[in-house]
Amino acid sequence: MDLLNTLVDKGLRRELPTREEALAVLATSDDELLDVVAAAGKVRRQWFGRRVKLNYLVNLKSGLCPEDCSYCSQRLGSKAEILKYTWLKPDEASKAAAAGVAGGAKRVCLVASGRGPTDRDVDRVSKTIEAIKGRHEDVEVCACLGLLSEGQADRLRSAGADAYNHNLNTSEATYGDITTTHTYADRVDTVRQAQAAGLSACSGLIAGMGESDADLVDVVFSLRDLDPDSVPVNFLIPMEGTPLAKEWHLTPQRCLRILAMVRFVCPDAEVRLAGGREVHLRSLQPLALHLVNSIFLGDYLTSEGQAGQTDLDMIADAGFEVEGSDTTTLPEHRVPSPDGGCGGHGGGCAPCGDSPGTADDTPAEAAAVTPPRSGAGAPKASAARTDLVAVRRRGAGTDVAPNA
């Protein structure tokens, strides 16, 4: 296909495709799918070889969020039967992180529900970062605490954080359909604050909320403009008890096309396959490794992932290798000066993503949120696979061993 040859050439030159080309990737047929994967795979291998970076989530504070993000099982008014607990102590969080590091994770992502951290919360997280780095000197730490106030990013950087995650989630035009208690502009501002503080910025999206192809392209182009080092791609986990519980729009083939489009638009960024891969990609997960260069190991924030050893076996069987701590994730041209860490904005490395079915942010009194309207180009709903959605009952906040 001329389209794919053009996109490969642009990806190898780090040239932005046109919006029409990005939309055309999403519109390709199932007969063309393997050609799309092969083409995007060439771009992935150019910048990241056959390495797969492993990341591990630690949910520092689960549930009881005052925000109304309709995709989130921790939102105000959620009836999802998730774990609910307040802040883990630093030693508890460090112990949870150790399980992920032992399983091969290079990055630990510390996440807490809520609108954003208070100064006391930043103190708590700073102590947790120190505890983790004291135990694992080489591990990368990403914080995901919601909307940042002035000076908080600098304090996290001083405490040893390498990165900060805050996802855009969907297009600016449809953002008000999924959340009313904060704005799209609030999210953009937090990403920019993290970058200004020298933290490696991580910002991505959630697909499968009823958005159109144009919405997906809009949010990915907005992310390209922000230029985060890491772009996590989440696929909505329709959790019972949330407004989007009935939103089953994704097929494995559509997920692969979305990942390929993100790779073409963000060729040299760390593209992370995040929440929902087991639910929506299912047996096609190994094909996604030809498009992404990063995944989460084991469980997510409020939902279970597949067994950590299964993740490792999948990587090996697909002919890829786990990225070691002695390897810089990002291509050389994105790595700053030696005093700026290992990311592309003056500090840190490629960070984490908030997984759907959970919140990374999020004030105020929440109003009921209307599920997103299915716009032009939105796929028809596929069969629900509720059997693949399991609430996390192990790991952080429990007495049960984590899945790593």
Q: Tell me, what's the pLDDT at 167?
A: 96
Assess whether 202 carries a catalytic annotation: yes
- Looking at 213-301, which runs of residues are DSSP E strands? 230-235, 270-273, 294-296
- Helix boundaries (H) for 179-251: 184-196, 213-226
Residue 347: pLDDT band (50, 70, 90) is very low
What are 207's strand-pairing partners?
A: 235
Assess whether 272 carries a catalytic annotation: yes
> Averaged over 209-219, what is the pLDDT?
97
Q: Which residues, 6+ apart, have CB-to-CB distance to 142 below 8 Å?
A: 55, 107, 108, 109, 110, 161, 162, 163, 164, 165, 200, 202, 348, 351, 352
Assess whether 65 carries a catalytic annotation: yes
Residue 279: pLDDT band (50, 70, 90) is very high
Q: Tell me, what's the pLDDT at 366?
A: 33
Q: Tell me, what's the pLDDT at 303?
A: 76
User: Do residues 189 and 149 lie in contact, with contact meaning Cβ atoms separated by under 8 Å?
Assistant: no
From the centroid of its chain, how far is CA 359? Answer: 12
Q: Which of 230, 197, 268 is nearest to 350 (CA)?
A: 230
Query: CA 199 to CA 306: how far, in whole Å?
Result: 30
User: Do residues 66 and 181 lie in contact, with contact meaning Cβ atoms separated by under 8 Å?
Assistant: yes
Spot the catalytic one: 44, 115, 254, 272: 272
Q: Tell me, what's the pLDDT at 63?
A: 75
Report whether pLDDT(346) > 60: no
Q: Tell me, what's the pLDDT at 340?
A: 42
> Averaged over 273-284, what is the pLDDT?
95
Report whether pLDDT(267) > 70: yes
Of the given ranges (40-49, 224-233, 275-284, 376-385), which has the lowest mean pLDDT? 376-385
pLDDT tens, residue by residue, 177-192? 988 999 999 999 999 9
Report whether pLDDT(131) > 50: yes
Q: Tell me, what's the pLDDT at 76?
A: 61
Q: pLDDT: is 199 or 85 the higher one?
A: 199
- Helix boundaries (H) for 32-147: 33-48, 90-102, 119-135
Q: Which residues, 6+ apart, have CB-to-CB distance to 13 below 8 Å?
A: none
Assess whether 72 carries a catalytic annotation: yes
* pTM of the predicted model as reported, rounded to 2 decimal places: 0.87
Of the given ranges (150-164, 201-215, 280-294, 377-391), which has the lowest mean pLDDT? 377-391
Report whether pLDDT(344) > 70: no
Assess whether 349 carries a catalytic annotation: no
What are 107's strand-pairing partners?
A: 55, 140
> Averaged over 363-373, what is the pLDDT?
39
Report whether pLDDT(341) > 90: no
Q: Tell me, what's the pLDDT at 46?
A: 98
User: Average pLDDT, whole number, for the chain?
Assistant: 87
Spot the catalytic one: 69, 144, 255, 342: 69
Assess whether 109 carries a catalytic annotation: yes
> Averaged over 235-249, what is the pLDDT?
88
User: Do residues 19 and 221 lie in contact, with contact meaning Cβ atoms separated by under 8 Å?
Assistant: yes
Assess whether 144 carries a catalytic annotation: no
Residue 379: pLDDT band (50, 70, 90) is low
Q: Tell me, what's the pLDDT at 45?
A: 98
- Distance set, CA 159 to CA 122, 303, 345, 382 (Å): 9, 29, 18, 45
> How many Cα atoms within 13 Å fall on the side-chain side of residue 193?
20
> Averaged over 266-277, what is the pLDDT?
97
Residue 239: pLDDT band (50, 70, 90) is confident
Spot the catalytic one: 44, 75, 107, 142: 142
pLDDT tens, residue by residue, 302-326? 777 899 999 999 999 999 999 999 9
Q: Tell me, what's the pLDDT at 281?
A: 97
- Helix (H), strand (E) counts: the chain: 13, 10
Spot the catalytic one: 72, 255, 266, 352: 72
Query: CA 79 to CA 165: how far, in whole Å?
Result: 26
Q: Which of 280, 386, 384, 378 is nearest to 26 (CA)?
A: 378
Query: What is residue 246's DSSP assignment?
Result: T
Could you give the domains of the chain? 2-388 (3.20.20.70)
Report whether pLDDT(44) > 80: yes
Question: Cα angle at 215 between 212 and 221, to 5 degrees?
Answer: 145
Select the highest-mean-pLDDT range: 26-30, 299-303, 392-396.
26-30
Report whether pLDDT(352) > 60: no
Q: pLDDT: is 72 or 218 the higher one?
A: 218
Report whether pLDDT(301) > 80: no
Spot the catalytic one: 44, 107, 187, 202: 202
Query: CA 51 to CA 322: how far, in whole Å?
Result: 6
Report whether pLDDT(14) > 80: yes
What are 163's strand-pairing partners?
A: 142, 200
Spot the catalytic one: 44, 75, 107, 109: 109
Cα four-point dihedral sign 278, 284, 285, 288: negative
Q: Tell me, what's the pLDDT at 398?
A: 84
DSSP character string of 313-372: HHHHHTT-EEPPTTS-SS-GGG---GGGTTSSSSS------PPTTS-S----PPPP-PPP
